[in-house]
Structure 1
Amino acid sequence: MSNKYLDCLALFGVGGAHPGGLQLTKKILSQEEINETMSILDAGSGTGQTSAYIAEEYKCHVTSLDYNKLMLDKARKRFSSLQLPITVKHGSTENLPFDKELFDFILSESVTTFTDVPLSLQESNRVLKTDGVLLAIEMVQEKPITKKELTSLLTFYGIPQLLTESEWCNLLKKSGFKHVQVEKDMQQIDEIDLELGADFTLSEDIDGNYFEVLEKHQHLTEIYKDVLGFRVFRCCK
């Protein structure tokens, strides 16, 4: 089923659309011990900004997976121009096209929220090695809102539910992750650096309606800035 918000991100080719952008990704990865022998899955990789960074920085094997074919086309062009040997896969996080216990790390940047969450988490657990780690940056509901407001947000973003931090932790543990660490104080992101790091790969002839979608997203994030937060979940089997 098409998701107009995600289609909008694909058409504009937005890289680092998750909270904190590439700067936050770099900070999270710098805290891990990653070497060239490891295999990393960028699940819901979009235009491949993060995948390209990992491949260049750590020289490890990177697999870039997304369900949106336009995003994948833009990712392929990025990897080709940079001459990066990244494996590109079309597929869903709810049914990952990989054998079990294949990856050392899975990175999921504001992706699982848009899926059947329990299914995606179970699949991540399945394809991670015994000592593997899931690093997930996900949207959380910081405080209660009215049913009407919640419905409006769920409808616009095309997400099945808006989870609290504790609900995320419960689902992660039910999916087989025995150790779940939560980071919540990583919001100190330099706005100037974010502007310099903006990453877009625009499609030609974008329908005007999608500019309205982008504007509404910006409007909603401002209105609900005290409601829509995010957490970084570090999860081990």
Structure 2
Amino acid sequence: MSLEEILEEEDLGIEILHPGGLEITRELAELCGINEKSKVLDVACGTGETACFLAETFGCEVVGIDVSPVMIEKAKKKAKMRGLEGRTTFILADAHELPFPDNTFDVVISECTLCLLNKEVALKEMVRVVKPNGCVGIHDVAWRGNAPEKLKLKLKEIEGEEPKTPDEWRRLFEKASLIDVVVLDKSHLIPEWMKEIRKEVGFWGEVKIFLKILRKEGLKGLKNAWESMKIFESPYTGYVIVVGRKPAK
């Protein structure tokens, strides 16, 4: 059971589900050249926190898509509360089949999600809907050094995640016909993020998560959650920003 699935059923007060918080979002936005004239697509927008932040900070227009109806409703409510309905739109959609014409957006981003998807298909769609000379950017989990194969298989089994090494992320972007690809190592953010999550959730939040996993998946689920945490705390697990540009026609 993923943290996002738990958030759909329990209100734990967590709005950002990735290392680096809104600071890494800002850095990604700046690398992608987002400004007040930009039309941005946020793939797997979650609760809409990033979309609202970008609209408020850069004055851009943001469309968020997510496969979860619960997350889309949360995002719409958040945008309304913050007076951003005119600059944000949230749509229920699959990242593997984006419901937009070719060359629609100036920038397409996705935060800490591509490692859960069919990367080639999702990235191809992101490239398809961005305009020529527009940027596609992500930040996501990356394997560091010579990560043991058993560690990779265990994370895939538990969380369904298949991170790439920094070089593999670069090659994936280049294979998708993106140019001027930049890869930045942000691995130092993971331990900081895990501490922050524990702080935000608090003792009773941890109890709720514990009981939810126990009720849904039993002791095996608790064991998996513990193993997953250990993987993210291991020296083999890192984090990267990756940005590429779609060539001009």
* TM-score, with length taken from structure 1: 0.83
Please state how far the C-alpha of 1:183 moved relative to its aligned partner.
1.2
Distance in 2 (alpha carbons) for counterparts of 1:148 and 1:214: 17
- 1:8 aligns with one of 6, 9, 12: 6
Give the Cα separation in 1 of the matches to 2:32 and 2:108: 12
Kindly indicate whether residue 163 of structure 2 is the aligned counterpart of residue 165 of structure 1.
Answer: no
CA change 1:189–1:117 in 2 (3 A) is closer
Would you say 1:221 and 2:222 are equivalent positions? no
Question: How many residues of Structure 1 are paired with residues of Structure 2 in the alignment?
Answer: 228
Letter in 2 for 1:235: G
Alignment deviations for residues 15-64 of structure 1 (CA, whole Å, 9 cap, x no partner): 22112121221233245543322200111111011111011112221101
Shift of 1:178: 2.0
RMSD: 3.0
Note the alpha carbon deviations across 1:93-131, whole angstroms, 9 max, x for none. Answer: 111111110111112111111100000111111000001
| Match among 147, 151, 154 for residue 152 of structure 1 | 154
Cα distance, 1:146 vs. partner?
A: 3.5
Which residue does the alignment assign to 2:60? 60
Following superposition, the deviation at residue 145 of structure 1 comes to 3.5
Deviation at 1:84, TM superposition (A): 0.9
Shift of 1:157: 1.2
Matching residue of 2:218: none
Using the size of structure 2 for normalisation, the TM-score is: 0.79
- Alpha-carbon distance in 2 for matches of 1:183, 1:208: 38
Q: Report the Cα distance in structure 1 between the residues aligned to 2:167 and 2:191, rounded to whole angstroms.
A: 28
| Structure 1 residue 219: Cα displacement | 3.8
How many angstroms apart in 1 are the aligned matches of 2:2 and 2:191? 29
Instruction: Give the number of the structure whose residues are more often helix, by fraction.
Output: 2
Match of 2:97 in 1: 95
Say whether the 8 Å CA contact 2:190–2:239 is kept in structure 1: no
Alpha-carbon contact 2:139-2:239 (below 8 Å) kept: yes
Percent identity, aligned pairs only?
Answer: 25
Whole-angstrom distance in 1 between the partners of 2:31 and 2:169? 22
- 1:66–1:91 CA contact under 8 A, matched in 2: yes
Give the structure 1 partner of residue 127 of structure 2: 125
Aligned pair in 2 of structure 1 residues 39, 185: CA closer, same or farther (>3 Å)? same
Q: Pairwise mapping of residues 185-196 of structure 1 onto structure 2 (< 5 A)?
A: 185=186, 187=188, 195=196
Which residue is equivalent to 1:25?
Answer: 25
**CA apart distance, 1:233:** 0.7
1:107 pairs with one of 106, 109, 116: 109
Q: Which structure has the larger Rg over C-alpha atoms?
A: 2
State the alpha-carbon separation in 2 of the partners of residues 198 and 102 from structure 1: 37
Tell me which residue corresponds to 1:208: 211
Report if aligned partners of 1:5, 1:157 keep a CA contact under 8 Å in 2.
Answer: no
| Structure 2 gaps, min length 5 | 215-221
Pairwise CA distance, 1:185? 4.9
Maintained 8 Å contact 2:181/2:244: yes
Contact 2:32/2:136 (CA < 8 Å) preserved in 1? no
Three-state SS of the structure 2 residue aligned to 1:96 is coil
Which of the numbers 140, 143, 146 marks the counterpart of 2:142? 140
Deviation at 1:167, TM superposition (A): 1.3
In structure 2, C-alpha distance between the alignment counterparts of 1:101 and 1:199, rounded to whole Å: 40
Q: CA deviation at 1:208?
A: 2.0
Q: Which residue of 2 aligns with 1:178?
A: 179
